[in-house]
């Protein structure tokens, strides 16, 4: 009886436990069904990208917004989609188009990746021709190149240049230009340089003119036959200017003689000897103002120990040597001649050295009294002079002895027609 009573007493507890299990199970089933229903309902709303889910654009290219499609069951509700993006095609990077829709309490979002990259190499342009010809020992400057990039802009300062040019030797050489942008895109170009010996134009001849003193005959006098009235000098320069003559600098004349440059057919070299009357700021100052007025070049062969070189400064007047203090004549046995020719070599070299130091150039030398000798020429070469001038009244070509260059002497009575005959070819 007691056992039966205990069984009856335990039944309410068991019944309660069973109820809890049933309720929990039903709750789980409900939650599961609810989740399933929510998921099922959410899946009724679909949003998809129209086109690729990743688009690659070139920097600075055009960008057109994409689109997406949305459906709920069988209804097209694409018009309810909102889209925003942060795409900037002017800057490299990864961007996104974000499409969103909210419908009947359901929210969905989808993204498209936009990659802006730079795969375009810089544009590299050569200044000048791709193939250029230069001459041995010619002063030549690489015209260079310019570079622009679609992203970085002007890259001309980033161009790297390498070349194997040896201007002392004939040959075919190359200049390699390379430029790289910030994205690593590289462009390279090559210029071919043909270096060859300059052809000598044997038939070109020019006049070298030789002046001495300048004066104004309206209020000055000069008894020397080598004096020239400034009005006659201007008349001669007028002829040169009106007929398009180039007045050469001494460096241009030197380079022409050595085959480094060509000069216009109508070219002339004006030289003045000594540095006396009318040639400097201290002795009348006739020459330099006229040269500067006409913008014509000349060379003064200065006796550097007699007058201060500072008296002759002008961008239109080159100064070269006429000895330092050997523009005199001396007796040598029964002969009388230029001190330069009859002095000891050590004295000559000392004088020439002083002249070079004073003037600052040893490009050209002018023999006093137009007197030269083989010994004197050797001395000039020994000390480094490249040209030497005498008299002679004939034209000069590249075949002319570079240490016996003749000049037309201009006298007080030289007529304009005689002058024209001197300079004309």
In whole angstroms, how far apart are CA 77 and each of 37, 48, 126, 167, 402? 22, 12, 58, 77, 98
Among 20-34, 276-290, 304-318, 335-349, where is mean pLDDT lowest? 20-34
Token pair belonging to 52: 């690729």
pTM, two decimals, is: 0.56
Mean pLDDT of 306-324: 98
pLDDT tier at 201 (50, 70, 90 boundaries)? Answer: low
Bridge partners, residue 54, by sequence: 113
With pLDDT > 70 as the criterion, what percentage of the chain qualifies? 95
pLDDT tier at 135 (50, 70, 90 boundaries)? Answer: confident
Q: Cα 159 to chain center, whole Å?
A: 12
Question: For the segment 163-199, what is each residue's pLDDT rounded down to a tens digit?
Answer: 999 988 999 999 999 999 999 999 999 999 999 986 6
In whole angstroms, how far apart are CA 93 and each of 110, 153, 301? 20, 18, 71
Please indicate whether residue 349 or residue 167 has the higher confidence score (pLDDT): 349
pLDDT of 4 above 70? no
pLDDT tier at 10 (50, 70, 90 boundaries)? Answer: low
pLDDT of residue 306: 98
Secondary structure string (H, E, C) spanning the chain? CHHHHHHHHHHHHHHHHHHHHHHHHHHHHHHHHHHHHHHHHHCCEEEEEECCCEEEEECCCCCCCCEEEEEECCEECHHHCEEEECCCCCCCEEEEEEEEEEECCEEEEEEEEEEEECCCCCEEEECCCCEEEEECCCCCCCCCEEEEECCCEECHHHCEEEECCCCCCCEEEEEEEEEECCCCCEEEEEEEEEEECCCCCCCCCEEEEEECEEECCCCCCCCCCCEEEHHHHHHHHHHHHHCCCEECCHHHHHHHHCCCCCCCCCEEEEEEEECCCCCCCCCCCCHHHHHHHHCCCEEEEECCCCCCHHHHCCCCEEEEECCCCCCCEEEECCEEEEHHHHCCHHHHHHHHHHHHHHHCCCCEEECHHHCCCHHHHHHHHHHCCCEEECCCCCCECCCCCCCCECCEECCCCCCHHHHHHHHCC
pLDDT tier at 35 (50, 70, 90 boundaries)? Answer: confident
331/312 Cα distance (integer angstroms):
32
Among 40-49, 123-132, 235-244, where is mean pLDDT lowest? 40-49
pLDDT of residue 185: 96
pLDDT of residue 143: 93
295/289 Cα distance (integer angstroms):
10
pLDDT of residue 8: 52
Please indicate whether residue 155 or residue 74 has the higher confidence score (pLDDT): 155
pLDDT of residue 197: 81
pLDDT of residue 15: 77
Bridge partners, residue 116, by sequence: 57, 93
Residue with tokens 């009106």: 242
pLDDT of residue 200: 61
Mean pLDDT of 397-410: 97
pLDDT of 139 above 90? no
Question: For the segment 54-66, what is each residue's pLDDT rounded down to a tens digit?
Answer: 999 999 999 999 9
Among 73-82, 157-166, 198-207, where is mean pLDDT lowest? 198-207
Mind listing the domains of the chain with CATH numbers? 46-117 (2.60.40.10), 123-196 (2.60.40.10), 207-423 (3.20.20.370)
Mean pLDDT of 221-242: 97
pLDDT of 336 above 70? yes
Mean pLDDT of 200-227: 92
pLDDT of 105 above 90? no
Question: For the segment 412-421, what is each residue's pLDDT rounded down to a tens digit?
Answer: 999 999 999 9
pLDDT of residue 246: 95
364/387 Cα distance (integer angstroms):
5
128/140 Cα distance (integer angstroms):
13
Question: For the segment 81-91, what is each residue's pLDDT rounded down to a tens digit?
Answer: 999 999 999 99
Mean pLDDT of 205-228: 97
Mean pLDDT of the chain: 92
395/203 Cα distance (integer angstroms):
11
């Amino acid at each position: 009886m007691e056992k039966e009573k205990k069984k009856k007493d335990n039944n309410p507890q068991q019944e309660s436990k069973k109820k809890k299990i049933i309720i929990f199970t039903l709750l789980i089933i409900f939650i599961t069904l609810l989740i399933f229903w929510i998921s099922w309902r959410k899946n009724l709303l679909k949003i998809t990208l129209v086109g690729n889910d990743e688009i690659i654009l070139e920097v600075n290219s055009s960008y057109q917004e994409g689109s997406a499609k949305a459906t709920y069951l069988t209804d097209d509700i694409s018009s309810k989609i909102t889209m925003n993006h942060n795409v900037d095609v002017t800057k490299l990077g990864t961007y996104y188009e974000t499409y969103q829709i909210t419908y009947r309490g359901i929210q969905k979002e989808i993204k498209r990746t936009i990659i802006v990259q730079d795969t375009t190499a810089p544009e590299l342009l050569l200044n000048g021709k791709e193939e250029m010809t230069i001459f041995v020992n010619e002063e030549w400057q690489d015209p260079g190149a310019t570079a622009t990039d679609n992203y970085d802009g002007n890259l001309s300062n980033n161009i790297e240049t390498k070349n194997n040019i040896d201007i002392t030797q004939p040959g075919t050489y190359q200049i390699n230009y390379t430029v790289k942008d910030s994205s690593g895109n590289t462009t390279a170009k090559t210029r071919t340089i043909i270096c060859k010996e300059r052809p000598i134009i044997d038939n070109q001849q020019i006049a070298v003119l030789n002046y001495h003193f300048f004066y104004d005959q309206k209020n000055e006098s000069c008894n020397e036959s080598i004096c020239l009235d400034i009005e006659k000098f201007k008349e001669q320069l007028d002829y040169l200017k009106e007929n398009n003559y180039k007045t050469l600098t001494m460096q241009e004349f030197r380079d022409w003689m050595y085959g480094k440059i060509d000069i216009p057919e109508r070219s002339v070299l004006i030289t003045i000897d000594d540095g006396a009357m009318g040639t400097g700021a201290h002795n009348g100052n006739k020459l330099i103002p006229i040269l500067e007025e006409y913008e014509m070049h000349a060379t003064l062969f200065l006796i550097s120990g007699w007058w201060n070189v500072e008296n002759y400064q002008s961008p239109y007047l080159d100064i070269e040597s006429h000895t330092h203090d050997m523009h005199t004549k001396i007796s040598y046995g029964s002969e009388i001649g230029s001190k330069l020719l009859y002095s000891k070599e050590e004295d000559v070299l000392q004088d020439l050295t002083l002249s070079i130091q004073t003037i600052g150039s040893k490009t050209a030398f002018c023999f006093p009294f137009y007197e030269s000798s083989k010994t004197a020429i050797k001395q000039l070469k020994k000390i480094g002079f490249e040209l030497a001038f005498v008299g002679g009244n004939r034209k000069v070509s590249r075949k002319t002895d570079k240490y016996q260059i003749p000049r037309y002497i201009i006298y007080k009575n030289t007529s304009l027609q005689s002058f024209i005959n001197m300079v004309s070819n």
